[in-house]
């Protein structure tokens, strides 16, 4: 198999603390399973770069990255230095849009040994995927401010839902549900209140469902869906949502499963026309940065998802993914833990333990 080229972008804050642990474990897996990987680090797409240059990325960022097979990404955002909408629309959200990473796949799993904030839940009760639309919807830069500073001050922010963009994420989610033993799909909606886009979204869900007679599906308004994540997480198998609903569900789900510190994500261009991007769900966590106490498992699990995607069915890559997951589970059950999981270990100790467990 050809060498897989990985662009490494640590970003801001704890992105810089968890990235070395992600690379440590991915490199250990590459050595064990004889995977041909190469890594190139980029020190832009962070707020220090913005402070030096007035931009988040160089003008030729697209050309610099487009021939990589994957981007391994930490986190971006340092609101004390740069407003979040500037830093994120100048980096991560550009990658997702311009590399057409329209699937944001976010597994949620209660791992054995993780303290669960929900009463009486066992591993197995929380085991589902959030499939988030990643390029349109409520995340838009269309709109504007009018009559600024007057009593008539008005702000307009449009949502954009296209048939192509909606159908392709629904198809991905139904295919995923169809491939899983329980074959359940829940579509997040809010068609009672959001009276144009969401009734239309529900119609597209029903039309796609007609192609998957073996999948049992329902739609749930986002408000009660959030409540059921907390009360009955065992109901869920594949949950598909628009960009904003998927964003919210993919912090809530991992919080229900103990900590957002272990949650991974894969921003996929399934057609492989452009590099896909793998990153933890969490952000740069300014409140804990600099203490080396961030949980590196979200970064490490994202690395496992990256190998699985790069392998595209190749058995050594699949084995590397599975081995990293088993090493994560073994370490969570019986090894050092960071404070978000009730432990006292530091970031490096957890990454080192997972690499050793491999
Ligand atoms: P955050 O995810 O950075 O932090 C939320 C809370 O979770 C904090 O208390 C933090 O300490 C904790 N936390 C996060 N990751 C952790 C880890 N690995 N281990 C232990 N605890 C962890 O969210 P926020 O505070 O809303 O955002 C901070 C900055 O990060 C902002 O600039 C925001 O825009 C950005 N952000 C970026 C991404 C991304 O790059 N994908 C995602 C979310 C937020
Ligand atoms: C995420 C983050 C981003 C999002 C922010 C930082 C723009 O919260 O990856 O979940 O909302 O998509
Ligand atoms: Mn988020």
Please give the distance of CA 92 from its chain centroid, rounded to a whole number.
11
Q: Helix (H, G, I), strand (E, B), or coil: what is residue 277?
A: strand
pLDDT digit string, tens, across residues 37-79 = 999 999 999 999 999 999 999 999 999 999 999 999 999 999 9
Question: Cα separation of 89 and 50, whole Å?
Answer: 13
Protein residue whose Cα sits closest to atom 22 of ligand 1: 261
288 CB neighbour count, 10 Å cutoff = 19
Q: What CATH number labels 116-257?
A: 3.40.718.10
Looking at domain 1-105+260-358, its CATH architecture is 3-Layer(aba) Sandwich (3.40)
Q: What are the Cα distances from residue 178, in Å, to 6, 85, 101, 214, 221?
A: 31, 37, 22, 7, 22
Tell me the CA distances in angstroms from 144 to 88, 147, 154, 157, one per residue in order: 18, 10, 8, 7
Tokens of 211: 């192609």
> Radius of gyration of the chain from Cα atoms?
20
Output the CA 303–ligand 1 centroid distance in Å: 18
Q: Where are the domains of the chain?
A: 1-105+260-358, 116-257
- Beta strands 154-157 and 37-41, pairing class: unpaired
Same topology for domains 1-105+260-358 and 116-257, yes or no? yes
Residues surrounding ion ligand 3 at CB below 5 Å: 247
For the stretch 122-174, pLDDT in tens is 999 999 999 999 999 999 999 999 999 999 999 999 999 999 999 999 999 99
Q: Is the pTM of this model over 0.90?
A: yes
Q: Is the CB of residue 93 below 6 angstroms from any atom belonging to ligand 1?
A: no
- This complex has an ipTM of 0.99
**Which ligand approaches the C-alpha of residue 251 most closely?**
3
- pLDDT on residue 217: 98
Give the atom of ligand 1 at the shortest distance from the alpha carbon of 287. 11
User: Which residue, judged by its Cα, is nearest atom 4 of ligand 1?
Assistant: 285
Q: What is the pLDDT of residues 171-218, one digit of tens each?
A: 999 999 999 999 999 999 999 999 999 999 999 999 999 999 999 999
For residue 357, the number of C-alpha atoms closer than 13 Å in the C-beta half-sphere is: 21
Q: Is the distance from CB of 265 to CB of 95 less than 8 angstroms?
A: no
Cα 296 to middle of ligand 3, angstroms: 17
């Amino acid at each position: 198999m050809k060498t897989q080229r990985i662009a490494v972008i640590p970003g801001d804050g704890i992105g810089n603390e968890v990235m070395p642990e992600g690379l440590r474990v991915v490199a250990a897996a590459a050595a064990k399973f004889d995977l041909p990987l190469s890594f190139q680090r980029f020190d832009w797409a962070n707020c220090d770069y913005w402070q030096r240059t007035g931009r988040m990325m160089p003008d030729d960022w697209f050309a610099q990255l487009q021939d990589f097979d994957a981007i391994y990404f930490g986190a971006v955002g340092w609101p004390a230095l740069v407003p979040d909408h500037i830093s994120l629309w100048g980096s991560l959200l550009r990658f997702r849009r311009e590399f057409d990473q329209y699937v944001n796949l976010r597994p949620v799993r209660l791992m054995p040994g993780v303290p669960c904030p929900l009463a009486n839940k066992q591993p197995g009760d929380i085991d589902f995927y959030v499939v988030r639309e990643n390029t349109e919807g409520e995340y838009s830069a269309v709109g504007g401010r009018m009559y600024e500073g007057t009593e008539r001050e008005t702000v307009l922010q449009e949502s954009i839902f296209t048939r192509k963009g909606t159908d392709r994420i629904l198809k991905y989610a139904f295919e995923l549900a169809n491939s899983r033993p329980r074959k359940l799909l829940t579509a997040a909606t809010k068609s009672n209140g959001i009276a144009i886009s969401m009734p239309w979204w529900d119609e597209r869900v029903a039309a796609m469902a007609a192609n998957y007679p073996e999948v049992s599906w329902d739609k749930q308004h986002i408000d009660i869906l959030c409540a059921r994540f907390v009360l009955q997480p065992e109901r869920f198998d594949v949950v598909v949502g628009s960009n904003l609903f998927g964003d919210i569900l993919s912090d809530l789900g991992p919080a229900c499963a103990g900590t957002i510190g272990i949650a991974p994500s894969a921003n996929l261009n399934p057609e492989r026309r452009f590099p896909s991007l793998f990153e933890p769900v969490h952000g740069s966590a300014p409140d804990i940065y600099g203490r080396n106490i961030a949980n590196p498992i979200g970064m490490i699990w994202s690395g496992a998802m990256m190998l699985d995607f790069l392998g595209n069915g190749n058995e050594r890559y699949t084995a590397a993914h599975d081995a990293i997951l088993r090493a994560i589970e073994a370490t969570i059950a019986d090894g050092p833990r960071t404070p978000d999981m009730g432990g006292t270990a530091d970031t490096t100790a957890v990454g080192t333990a997972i690499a050793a467990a491999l």
